[in-house]
Amino acid sequence: MRENTAGKWFHASVHAILLLAAVSCLIPLINIIAVSFSDSAAIDSGFVWLWPIHFNLEAYKTLFIGSRVIPSFMNSLYITVIGTGLSLLCTTLAAYALSRKYCYGRKFMTLAMVFTMMFSGGLIPFFLLIKSFGLINTYWSLWLPGLVGAYNLLLMRSYFEGIPAEIEESARIDGCGEWRLLVQIFLPLSMPVVATICLFLAVGYWNSFLNVLIFINDAEKMNLTVFVQQMVQSQSMLIQTIALQPEDLENMSPEAVKAGGIVIMTLPMLIVYPLLQKYFVKGVMLGAIKG
């Protein structure tokens, strides 16, 4: 069926708007990267825009040699890997149980999970709850509260419910139990939604900021997000964070160091997202058709 003129103009307008939105998101990122690789004189004069001027690596040398960027990066990596693995495991088990029609009380538990998406106890009760469990200054204060997210649970449950019942019946006839059914049948068929939820969880844990500030008191346990925030907050905090003297900044722009920290913080997600992009849209759309 051929598209009429109005339809063509509509699609052209939509594509133009999406292109402008994409460019508006890319330009600040490209500018930050350019600043991180530019000379201090070019940065201070305001000449740097989308391409580095007088290319140098002094900002990154300062970050990797004279600061805690590597320990903070490893803390973020530890929080993300362990937290994503635990959350994905618990979400998968809960979603599989709630997707089975013979699960007793599954409607009540589903409604209880939906209720948490609309109402919360507030920050102070949340802090008192974590403190009562003795989780202050431990990474469990970051992992345990978000072990099973309501949205992720509903998404995966809907995907499991969309798997044809004939596949399950055939597996059970062959003597397949619950664990084997989940591991060898459901999970291989659900890779799009698993990859999508894995991406959601990884981005959330990697960008953890408020919970780290509230629950983690030891500077040695701070993640990369908090480290970069402390650098960006003020120049005095920058000097303290990277352990430099004020005169050391004469030959290096503080803006380049800040930009370098932001690049280091965003780079892992920029690498991971394209690898999972092919599953992303498929996992969200198929999981949202039913339920």
Q: Are residues 114 and 24 in the same domain?
A: no
- pLDDT tens-place string over residues 2-24: 667 777 788 889 899 999 998 88
Q: Among 56, 77, 97, identify where a domain stops.
A: 56
Query: For the chain, how many structural domains are there in total?
Result: 2
- pLDDT tens-place string over residues 251-265: 567 788 888 888 988
Q: Are residues 135 and 250 in the same domain?
A: yes
Q: Are residues 138 and 39 in the same domain?
A: no
Q: Which domain holds residue 27?
A: 1-56
Q: Are residues 113 and 216 in the same domain?
A: yes
105, 141 in Cβ contact below 8 A? no
Q: What is this structure's pTM?
A: 0.82
Q: Are residues 184 and 243 in the same domain?
A: yes
Q: Are residues 181 and 111 in the same domain?
A: yes
Residue 68 tokens read as 């805690």
- Which residue, among 121, 137, 23, has the nearest Cα to 75 in the 3D structure? 137
Q: Are residues 51 and 170 in the same domain?
A: no
Q: Are residues 39 and 94 in the same domain?
A: no
Give dist(CA 219, CA 209) in Å, integer. 13
Q: Are residues 52 and 110 in the same domain?
A: no
- pLDDT tens-place string over residues 218-239: 888 889 998 888 877 766 666 6
